[in-house]
Structure 1
Amino acid sequence: MKKIQLLSILFVLLVMASCNKDLNTELRYESYEFSGIDEDAGDWKPILISHGSELEIPAPSSEDSPEYLEEIEQAKSLISSMTESQKENLEFWTNNSVLRWNEVALALIAKYNLIPGPNVDESYTLPNPNNPAGPPPFPFSHPPYASRALAYLSVAQFDGLISAWHHKFQFNRKAPYQVDATIPHAYVDNGLPSYPSEGAVLATVSRKVLTAMFPLEAEYLASLEEKHLESLILSGENVQSDLEAGMKIGEEIGSIALTRASNDGMKYAQSPKAVSDSLRQAAFDRFGWQWENLESPKRPVGLTPLFGQVKMWSVPYVEATRPEVPPAPGSEAFEADIKILKNYADNMTEEYRRIANFWQDGLGTYTPPGHWNDIAGEFILKYKFNSIRTARAFAYMNMAIMDGGISCWDAKYYYYYPRPIQLIEGFETIAGTPNFPSYTSGHSVFSAAAAETLTYLFPQEGSIFKEWAEEAAISRVYGGIHWTFDATVGTTQGINVAQYTIDVAKQDGADN
């Protein structure tokens, strides 16, 4: 399909192109016919609110009212004077802008996925949300942070669209191009009512949530919202009152999402050194081992020791998904694993190296959670999901990924298990060693949780998702970063976590 470029967000595409040379991270698609429009989606069960009717908007003017007819004339005037830049903008957003806002989020994650460097005295200053300009700038969008940003974005989008669908089919106001045949329609006709505008819901809620997650991008995100809103009128699908109603929903659901975020415990995840040291001592007292950070210079605290205490979406309590105790150093199982890792290191093939590099998703990339969002987008397009089905897919997958990350980090800092480089004399990795404990593998948990949820959403594709999740897990063993039991147990952990999310999804009414 035609590659669409928009100068105002060129840096998004450039950053995304740099995320992984093996990935096509910019989805190339045009307006398309949806596989269905889900007229009953306004009755689906939301996640943050009780029902789509909870967010109220005023009844729209009738299609023959003077107020509405004036809006039609204003839209026609804007369309008739459209510039080339506006036409490019119109093409960019298309009729499923959930995908575009997800791309924006992935690009911001990649941009801010940079470890804060040491000060002159080799001490470290942490990013501070109260002083986002830093130095260092806020946030450091590491995998736990990325999983959380994507979860809040997609859940807010999903709930906002449930509300939009409820009101759309309550009021059933026709789109401008259906009311006035002289108005050109830029997109494929899917027959959706226009009030409120689902695009306006997405533009406003996405700007609001992403601004909270990436405060230094406030001006940029506001400009994207403005361009997206403008495109909705230029497309022939909406008039100004459609936008205003959608923006009202977006503002309200965004505030509800951010209220949850402010109280979910993430602000405490990067704990002080004393807390981290107490976790390490507790693990040593229980098990007789402890992970040591082998960086130089060494950061005093591992990455987000208390992320395992952040509020989960679907799992009732984190211990419900905590895995079994890993093999004790010196045990038969442990020694067998050393042999496996040494064998991979001594017989590293091009294929092993390719797999390790492909799934690395390290600094300057959109992280493992972002990688699975990129994958999900391709299948959303393949099956021609409408915008509310798209938001639902991202919401449940990202809920499972975030819950998986919380469960994984709980295990990491409960067991505080050493990495191979610490316990195998002379052992070297082919990738940098992360500054947090080994068991279980974050890549494995994130990937298995995503793959299991995508298998529920796209059952006919389940075998490929599970194959990719297994490859992502073993990639960390090929890279020398993890033990094989980090990967295998982590995969099981991710599957178990995802089942809680899938159980919620099965009750939301979308499968009826």
Structure 2
Amino acid sequence: MKKIYSLIALCTLVFVFACNKDLPTELEFSSYEFNSNDPQGGNWKPILISAGSDLKIPVPTATNSPAYQAELAKTKSAIQGMTAGQRKTLVYWTNNPVVRWNEIALELIAKYNLIPGPNADGTYPVPNPADPQGPPAFPFAHPPYASRALAYLSVAHFDGLISAWHYKFLYNRAPAYQVDPSIPFAYHDQNIPAYPSDGAVVAAASRKILTAMFPLEAAYLERREKEHLESLLLSGEFVPSDLDAGVSIGEEIAALALKRASTDGMKNAQTNQVVGDSIANEAFKRFGWKWINQESPQRPVGLTPLFGKVKMWNVPNVEATRPPMPPKPGTPEFEADVKLLKEYAANSTAERRRITNFWQDGLGTYTPPGHWNDFAARFIVKYRLNTLRAARTFAYLNMAMMDGGISCWDAKYYYHYPRPIQLIPGFETIAGTPNFPAYTSGHSVFSAAGSEILAYIFPEEAKLVRGWAEEAAISRVYGGIHWSFDAIAGTQQGRNVAQYTLEKARVDGAGR
């Protein structure tokens, strides 16, 4: 019991910081001066490719060539004819569109985070990627799905921008506004070469990755890409060939990311009742218990029972981070937790309810992984990271959280541990009843993994983010959804998972 009370004490200490956090739809920030331009960024170690030079683009024309001068004239003409609406859009995209495209991903996750309801006959339909219109519409953007979508998006951004940086400083072609000082520049001068456009890399990769993840949004995402590319031209930094080269890199790295995604096992994560029942029965043979869904009508199978078999990014296998067995029902440790949950239920406080509600991240939200992406975006802006470092932050954050989710789901269906509502007679939660086993807590794993990455990249925020992770963990106990040992073991599990990603981050050539 000492561990859980220590957890509560720490949450109390950090609550003064956490209580002011809001759930945004769009981060308000404008163009800012990067704290570095990382001229050696093209030499950093990517994830899907072996080096930035793997993605090929044409050698750019010289700035004094007739071809370039014609492009320059086209850029100047477009800027001179800019409308009020285009000026507003230019302000929106800023000079760090990695953050903006991450926000678009979070918006789509929230939009599609809607669990399919039962049919009239009591059966439950499953979203089908082959028929995204449904019903029900594809996808159901639950936490595992969200973590995966964000991981592939962020990894594509990171690798694509390493490639862009490689060519930027190899060819060193000046931005349009430096070649022709009469061209106004919309943002801060960062002294970063223009060819290829880093923004175009991000736009093209984002459109392609997110369209694959959210196929019903294809037209919307195409409009956003077009709008972004237009803003890049109107910024005064790029000419059309800068954009074309960036789009080429973005599309190529997105194709490589989606090739990995097509074989990572996610398509098999949601299985049928026969397989679901066999997983439950195997757990019962092993441990003498199994989770039973408490919904009415009851879904025939839990959420993504085979997500624990999806290919991980940096962890060698799920056994490497599988937590120890939870307490057997009826033991003193188990009964102590029953007493603790009953005490919380009988003595709810405004502070506990606020913590529970803030970290709920349920249906219609951007889920726990999205929550940590929002935190990352705020730190990126606060510390003025350039697009390459912003992409690196999101890539390591989301790989760690996806690996954490896979590890967590492995434990959930390996141990198949019942939730409090199943084992405590008459017990009621204040935060719903998730459709999957209890041990370990997904919120705890996602949050601990995410906090360790942010603590590494932003050491000034280490105490704060680790405190937030502890708060996310205890919120599920306050809500009656989880046992305290779900939260404690899940927090340690998330920290353990993150170490594998941090091993890669420490040797990628970027420094901290």
List per-residue Cα deviations over 1:225-278 (Å, max 9, x = no partner).
000000011000100000000000011000000000000000000011111111
**Hey, what does 1:4 align to over in structure 2?**
none
2:154 and 2:24 map into 1 onto residues whose CA distance is: 21
Q: How does 1:394-473 map to 2 (within 5 A)?
A: 394-473=394-473
**Partners of 1:25 and 1:374 within 8 A in 2:** no
**Hey, what does 2:43 align to over in structure 1?**
43
1:119 and 1:23 map into 2 onto residues whose CA distance is: 33
**Hey, what does 1:389 align to over in structure 2?**
389
**Hey, what does 1:142 align to over in structure 2?**
142
Q: Secondary structure at the match of 2:64?
A: coil
Q: How does 1:103-502 map to 2 (within 5 A)?
A: 103-502=103-502
2:330 and 2:129 map into 1 onto residues whose CA distance is: 44
**Partners of 1:143 and 1:368 within 8 A in 2:** yes
2:117 and 2:433 map into 1 onto residues whose CA distance is: 16
Amino acid at match of 2:506: K
2:301 and 2:228 map into 1 onto residues whose CA distance is: 41
Deviation at 1:21, TM superposition (A): 9.3
**Hey, what does 1:32 align to over in structure 2?**
32
List per-residue Cα deviations over 1:368-414 (Å, max 9, x = no partner).
00000001111111110000000000000000000000000000000
**Partners of 1:266 and 1:307 within 8 A in 2:** yes
**Hey, what does 1:17 align to over in structure 2?**
none
**Hey, what does 2:63 align to over in structure 1?**
63
Deviation at 1:191, TM superposition (A): 1.1
2:253 and 2:21 map into 1 onto residues whose CA distance is: 36
List per-residue Cα deviations over 1:309-366 (Å, max 9, x = no partner).
0000000011100000000000110001101101111110010000000000000000
List per-residue Cα deviations over 1:155-179 (Å, max 9, x = no partner).
0000000000000000000000000
1:21 and 1:394 map into 2 onto residues whose CA distance is: 20
2:188 and 2:458 map into 1 onto residues whose CA distance is: 24
Q: Name the CA shift for 1:395/1:21 in 2 (closer, same or farther; >3 Å).
A: closer
1:386 and 1:508 map into 2 onto residues whose CA distance is: 17
2:101 and 2:26 map into 1 onto residues whose CA distance is: 12
**Partners of 2:32 and 2:187 within 8 A in 1:** yes
Structure 2 gap ranges (5+): 1-19
Amino acid at match of 2:170: Q
**Partners of 1:271 and 1:304 within 8 A in 2:** yes
Amino acid at match of 2:495: I
1:279 and 1:23 map into 2 onto residues whose CA distance is: 37
1:120 and 1:21 map into 2 onto residues whose CA distance is: 41
2:24 and 2:253 map into 1 onto residues whose CA distance is: 32
Deviation at 1:507, TM superposition (A): 1.1
Amino acid at match of 1:74: K
Q: Secondary structure at the match of 2:224?
A: helix
Amino acid at match of 1:322: R
2:304 and 2:24 map into 1 onto residues whose CA distance is: 30
Deviation at 1:297, TM superposition (A): 1.1
Deviation at 1:466, TM superposition (A): 0.6
Moved over 4 A (4+): none
1:212 and 1:122 map into 2 onto residues whose CA distance is: 31
Amino acid at match of 2:45: K
**How much is the aligned-residue C-alpha RMSD, in angstroms?**
0.9
Report the more deviating stretch, 20-29 or 42-51: 20-29
List per-residue Cα deviations over 1:127-158 (Å, max 9, x = no partner).
00000000100000000000000000000000
List per-residue Cα deviations over 1:70-91 (Å, max 9, x = no partner).
0000001100000111111111
Amino acid at match of 1:35: N
1:284 and 1:424 map into 2 onto residues whose CA distance is: 19
**Partners of 1:31 and 1:96 within 8 A in 2:** yes
1:312 and 1:507 map into 2 onto residues whose CA distance is: 19
1:320 and 1:23 map into 2 onto residues whose CA distance is: 34
Amino acid at match of 2:309: Q
2:87 and 2:356 map into 1 onto residues whose CA distance is: 42
List per-residue Cα deviations over 1:198-234 (Å, max 9, x = no partner).
0100000000000000000000000000000000110
Amino acid at match of 2:441: S
Structure 1 gap ranges (5+): 1-19
Amino acid at match of 2:130: N
**Partners of 2:411 and 2:439 within 8 A in 1:** yes
Q: TM-score, normalised by structure 2?
A: 0.96
List per-residue Cα deviations over 1:455-504 (Å, max 9, x = no partner).
11111210000100000000000000000000000000000000000001
Q: TM-score, normalised by structure 1?
A: 0.96
**Hey, what does 2:81 align to over in structure 1?**
81
Amino acid at match of 2:211: T
Identity of aligned residues (%): 68
2:75 and 2:379 map into 1 onto residues whose CA distance is: 34
2:118 and 2:151 map into 1 onto residues whose CA distance is: 30
1:123 and 1:23 map into 2 onto residues whose CA distance is: 34
Q: Name the CA shift for 1:317/1:21 in 2 (closer, same or farther; >3 Å).
A: closer
1:338 and 1:145 map into 2 onto residues whose CA distance is: 32
1:140 and 1:24 map into 2 onto residues whose CA distance is: 21
| Matched residues, number | 493
Amino acid at match of 2:256: I
Amino acid at match of 1:81: G
Amino acid at match of 1:88: K
Amino acid at match of 1:446: F
Amino acid at match of 1:385: L
2:329 and 2:407 map into 1 onto residues whose CA distance is: 23
Q: Secondary structure at the match of 2:281?
A: helix
Q: Secondary structure at the match of 2:85?
A: helix
1:239 and 1:25 map into 2 onto residues whose CA distance is: 32
**Partners of 1:283 and 1:289 within 8 A in 2:** yes
**Hey, what does 2:7 align to over in structure 1?**
none
Amino acid at match of 1:257: A
Deviation at 1:24, TM superposition (A): 3.1
2:75 and 2:488 map into 1 onto residues whose CA distance is: 57
**Partners of 2:25 and 2:107 within 8 A in 1:** no
Amino acid at match of 1:200: A
Amino acid at match of 2:364: G
